[in-house]
Structure 1
């Protein structure tokens, strides 16, 4: 549903980064809705991501993770990019580290995740154009973990 809406609004996809054989998830901001906070629960990998917007709260992933990281966006702050690592943990390939980059924190918040016993496969970094604005996220879930993540980006005039 969000992908069809994205295409009709001139939104481009960046990613997903990671494996894509799990269950798809997607969240896209509605017009006049903004992202206020991201809550990332981690252990060795990214267990879940919760997006808190001006209208609702949407969680993707399981209930595990012994660490909770909150990225609270200031007034006028918005996500510009994501980066991190994909790795193998207990024979699953998941997002093992995640960093959130914004217009006010270009080096990014995080990385979150990256616990022990993880075999790192590769790093990723989205290449969102400077005139692009992140308007949503998508990816896949596998065994209650975030398996992949990508961005919906709308180019600004």
Structure 2
């Protein structure tokens, strides 16, 4: 007596042996279809992840570009401020040299004015103030109206 064949799931089969290749072919086709669906789903998910990464990287690139622009603007401002400071130092140095020259030419200093007594005191103080105020500078550098340095004497 012939033993009945056993199915793939472990049960005894009442089918004839001639149908076994058909069942095996159907099972292979079913597994292939399932694997194809799984692969398609995984590819779609990975595509979504890649799109999200690209979006994040694009935002990061935009932020870095904005920061680079801010740093560049700041560097230009620092250079401009240094140049302006050098101009101010140069004008202050020239002003000091001009005042020293006027003092050496005989214009009395504030200390000499206060030490003098008598009726000529106000005239000497007035002359000293005029000498200091006569130092002129180019217009637009904050040294008073008309380009004249306004003294605090």
TM range (shorter): under 0.3
Between structures 1 and 2, the one with greater strand share: 1
Between structures 1 and 2, the one with greater helix share: 2
Which structure has the bigger radius of gyration? 2
TM-score, with structure 2 as normaliser = 0.16
TM-score, with structure 1 as normaliser = 0.16
